[in-house]
Amino acid sequence: MHRHSTHTHDCYPFLNHARSSALHTALQHYARAQGVLLHQEFGVPFVLYEAASGHWLATSANDPFETPLPQLPPETVRALAHDGPAAVRTVAPGDYQLSLVLYEANKPRVLAAARFVGLAATGAQAEGESRWLRQWLDAVGQRMRLTDQLTQRVAVEDPHSQTTSAWGGLVALDQVMRRLRMHKEPVKNFKRIVETAFELVPVQSLICLAPAPTAEPVVQGEQLLSAEECRAVADALATCADFKESEPFFYSRSKNPPWGNRFPAIETLLALPLLEAAPHGWLIAVNKGKARHSVPGSAGAAPAFRSSDAALLLPFVALLRLQCVAGGRYQELKELVVGLARSLTAAIDAKGTYTYGHSERVARIALELGHALQLGADELSDLYLAGLLHDVGKIGVPDDILRKKEPLSLDEFEAIKQHVTIGYAILADLRPIRHLLPGVLHHHEHWDGKGYPEGLEGAKIPFLARILAVADAYDAMSTDRPYRTAMPFAKVEERLRAGAGVQWDPSVIEALLKCRHKIHAIRQRGVGESLRQALDGVLRSKGSTNVL
């Protein structure tokens, strides 16, 4: 008889393989999750590698337009991980390779690498940009390592509770992240994040206060504090001697009696800052384990918050922070895109008096069509910008063809048709507005499939392009052109009705007829208002404060 070996893994080598495979899969999931956070933070895709072996694990890129850094050889990954924790290498002027070591249980487990295209070109500006990127990487790495350390501390304090809560937290995070649209709908995003976190943490009230002096608190649970009291709590937290910007703040009435006089509804409190620098913004949990709908000060004091509660809330704080940072950057991007659209529109208008104001009018008409079609704020904003940019390709069409009064030859008409592909090519490298490209490329497609450039038919034509096609045709027919005078409004509408289901989407024509009086007003006012007023004023009047 053979004696059974006491070394089970040696006796059954497939168990070693299964265990190794499971650990590798877990590390891939961890790397993927961290990569998504880094992608949101820096706005570029990251490639994740195992630090010890240098082998590829995952990438954060989902968008086919996003090209991650070419895969690094294992020896390069191991060298970068050894030199960590953060490094910025200049590949070419204004082109940088970022690398960041990610820690798990205080051990370097993953190297994240990305390509970042900056703004500076040469000299001192490029050196300053490189230093700024290194500081940014360091700050993000320190924050992520602090989160890992706190999680490990909690696991020692209460391993059973931590395991149960962690699984629930992961599931909840997955659900809320699927619903978020970073950069857009900030108030809705705040509410979704706070709502999800509230379901995981047994508290009487969970409050999110964005880092803006006039921000309204987002509250889930009991309304224990007024908006003014929430801001007063935030001020008190920021000036408290025990507050440290990188750590959670714990409060208990029994330990801090003076707070009980200022905020009698608060028995216990856990506050986590959203940003490292003032104004911080806060996620504040009030009265742990307190029965919801209970009377403040009633029998049964709320238990104190622990590190495990802070660890459970930290991922949601990270999402809130990303939304805060993204919102600021999105506002800057909005200014940039509007300025770009304004410049390009002016260049197009300068090609002839007949086309003066055409792009802005198309944008406004498309906006009214969008309202009539009951589109959301983000879709309305897309319509407006796509309307401004829809004819940008005419920059590449010779002026003599655009201004010609006689019928165009076949070759000249082919040159005119090229403006949609030229416009597409001009805008293709502007990643933040790539979702507008279908409108630029396809706004001359016809419902019956006889348009250009691809002869798309019916619902295969992007909806954005179908709306722009109607707005473009309306303005073209109702304004003077070199080859004809403007048609009366009644004649234009008659032509559009006749073309419904042939050249244009019938639902868009129906929407135009519903809002014809508003569109008449746009045509009569001309181009008096600026693009900024149109973008901020018109959309805000429809109840949206975040339209880009």
Q: pLDDT, tens digit, for every residue of 318-335? A: 778 877 776 666 666 666
**Looking at residues 167-174, what average pLDDT do you find?**
47
Report the pLDDT value the prediction gives residue 11, as an integer from 0 to 100.
40
Report the pLDDT value the prediction gives residue 529, as an integer from 0 to 100.
40
Candidate CATH numbers 1.10.3470, 2.40.420, 3.30.160, 3.30.450; the one for domain 8-157: 3.30.450
Mean pLDDT score of the chain, rounded to an integer? 77
- Is 176-324 assigned to CATH 3.30.450.40? yes
Q: In the structure, what pLDDT confidence band is assigned to residue 537 with cuts at 50, 70 and 90?
A: very low
Q: Determine the 3-state secondary structure of 367 from DSSP.
A: helix
Domain with CATH 3.30.450.40 in the chain: 176-324
Report the pLDDT value the prediction gives residue 22, as an integer from 0 to 100.
55
Q: For 350-540, CATH number?
A: 1.10.3210.10
Q: Cα-flanking dihedrals φ and ψ of residue 301, to 5°?
A: -65, 145
CB 274 within 8 A of CB 246: no
211-234 pLDDT, tens per residue? 777 778 999 999 898 888 898 888
Pick the more confident residue, 546 or 266: 266
Q: In the structure, what pLDDT confidence band is assigned to residue 151 with cuts at 50, 70 and 90?
A: low
Report the pLDDT value the prediction gives residue 10, as an integer from 0 to 100.
40
Whole-number Å distance between alpha carbons of 441 and 144: 42
462-476 pLDDT, tens per residue? 999 999 999 999 988
Q: Determine the 3-state secondary structure of 366 from DSSP.
A: helix
CB 35 within 8 A of CB 110: no
Angle in degrees, 0-180, between the axes of helices 377-389 and 307-349, rounded to the nearest 10: 30
**Looking at residues 365-389, what average pLDDT do you find?**
89
**Looking at residues 171-183, what average pLDDT do you find?**
49
β-bridge mates for residue 282, sequence order: 209, 273
481-503 pLDDT, tens per residue? 766 777 888 899 999 999 999 99
pTM for the model stands at 0.50
